[in-house]
Amino acid sequence: MSKKKKKQKKKLRVDFRKNRTTRSRRRERFRDLDPEQFDAAEDLAAEERLSGKGEVARRRTVVGQQLDDENAALPVQLEVDQSRCLAGRVLRVGGLVSQVQAEDGTVYHCAVRRLLKTLSTHERHVLAAGDRVLFHPVPTSGDVPEGLIVRIEPRRGVLSRATRGREHVIVANVDQLLIVLSAEEPPLKPNLIDRLLVAAEKAQIQPVILINKIDLVDPVRLQPLVGLYAQLGYPVLLVSAVSGFGLPRLRRVMQDKQTALAGQSGVGKSSLLNALDPRLNIRVQPVSPDTHKGRHTTTSAQLYRLAFGGWVVDTPGVRQFELWDVVPEEVAGFFRDIRPFVNRCRYPDCTHMSEDACAVKDAVADYLIDTRRYESYCHLFLGNPVD
C-alpha cells in the first residue's frame, strides 16, 4: 500500500458540537416592517443561513483513529506528533486550565486544544481527573510550567453519573471504588450504596464499602448491614479516621492501586486521606451542627499520589446519584442478589414489580432477597431519586 493511501485511511469525518453551525439571520430583522408587510414576513423561514453549507458545517475532516470504546472521551484518537509531546495524568480539571502531572513529577497548568473541546460528545467536559493525556509544553513568563493538551488517551475504569441529561465523568482509569459512608453525622444511606454499586458493576470497577466514624456508635448496630453486603461478596471495612481503627487494613487495600472515593458530603473522605497520608494536607470541615449534613468542602475531583504507593481520587460529596446510561431493563442484572432469580420468572420481560408468578417477588417473600434491597431496585427501575 502506498504512503498516499495510508495517509488517506486516517482521514475521518467527525461531528462537532451544535454551536459550530453557520451564523443565522434571525427573524428579529423583520420587527420594523409595516403592518401590511407583516403577514408576508410570517411566511418566511424563521432562520435563514448566511452561507449555503447548512448542516454540513457541523462536520469536519480530522486525521486520527476511530474509537468504538464506549469509555472513550472522544469518538476519535487524533494523530499528533508524539516527539513534541509529554505524557501526563490529569490531577484536577478546572474551567479553562487543568493540572497535569508529567512522568517526571512536574505539574503543568494546561489548557485543552480547541479541536478536542468542540468535537461532538455526550459528556459535560471532555476531560476528567485521572485521564492520561499527551500535551505540548509551552513557553511561559511565570514560575508555573504551562502546556496544551492535544490528545486524550483511551480510558478504562470510568465512574460516571447523569447530570441534566448529560454524562458527568467523575473519574477515569481507576481499579476500585471506595464507597464511603459514615455510621453517624451524617446518617448512613443504604440506598446510596446500591446506586454506587450499580455504577461500579457497570464500569467493571471493584467496589469496596467503607464505613467511617465507627467511634461514634456501637459497631454491633452495623452488623446486619455489614453481613448483608459481605454475604453478596462485597468487601466491607469499618474504620475511624479519628481513632485510627481499621486504617492499616485500608492502607493495604489501597496500596499500589488506582482508587476513587465516593460518598456523601461530610462522611470523612478527605479526613481519611489525611489520616492515611498526612503529607496530603487536604482541607476539611466539620458537619453542620444545624442540619447534621456535610458541607461541600471538596468542590472538584482531585487526584493524589500516595506515599505508600498508588493513586487516589478524592471526589466531591453527593446527596443524590443518578445513574448514566443504565436502562430500567438492565438494573436487575446489576443486583447480585436479584440476578439469579430473573430467569425463573414466567414472563421474559418481567419488571419484578406488578407481575404474577415472579420469582424475584417470591424470593423477597421467602427472605432470600433483602426487602430493603428490593425496594432500592424498584426505585432505580422507576428512576426515582433517593435522598
Q: Contact 167/160 with Cβ under 8 angstroms?
A: yes
Q: Contact 210/200 with Cβ under 8 angstroms?
A: no
What is the distance between the alpha carbons of residues 338 and 336, in angstroms, rounded to a whole number?
6
Q: What is the CATH number assigned to the segment(s) 168-314?
A: 3.40.50.300
Phi and psi, residue 345, nearest 5°: -70, 155
Domain ranges for the chain: 10-61, 65-152, 168-314, 331-382
In the prediction, which pLDDT does 42 show?
52
What is the distance between the alpha carbons of residues 156 and 317, in angstroms, rounded to a whole number?
23
Q: What is the mean pLDDT of residues 324-337?
A: 92
**CA-derived radius of gyration, the chain:** 26
pLDDT over threshold 60, residue 289? no
Q: What is the pLDDT of residues 127-179, one digit of tens each?
A: 999 999 999 999 887 788 999 999 899 888 999 888 888 888 899 999 999 99
Which element (helix H / strand E) includes 276?
Answer: helix 269-276
**Residue 47 vs residue 261, higher pLDDT:** 261
pTM of the entire structure?
0.80
- Between β-strands 107-112 and 132-138, what pairing exists: parallel, antiparallel or unpaired? unpaired
Phi and psi, residue 94, nearest 5°: -110, -175
Q: What is the pLDDT of residues 198-252, one digit of tens each?
A: 999 999 999 999 999 999 999 899 999 999 999 999 999 999 999 999 999 999 9
CATH of the structural domain 65-152, one choice from 2.40.30.20, 2.40.50.140, 3.40.50.280, 3.40.50.11540: 2.40.50.140
What is the distance between the alpha carbons of residues 39 and 42, in angstroms, rounded to a whole number?
5
DSSP assignment letter at 44: S
Q: Contact 174/90 with Cβ under 8 angstroms?
A: no
Instruction: Please report, as a single letter, which amino acid is at residue 226.
Output: V
3-state SS record for 298-342 = CCCCEEEECCCCCEEEECCCCCCCCCCCCCHHHHHHHCCCCHHHH
Contacts of 43 (CB under 8 A, 6+ apart): none
Domain covering 331-382: architecture: Orthogonal Bundle (1.10)
Sign of the torsion angle spanned by Cα atoms 75, 81, 83, 85: negative
In the prediction, which pLDDT does 295 show?
55
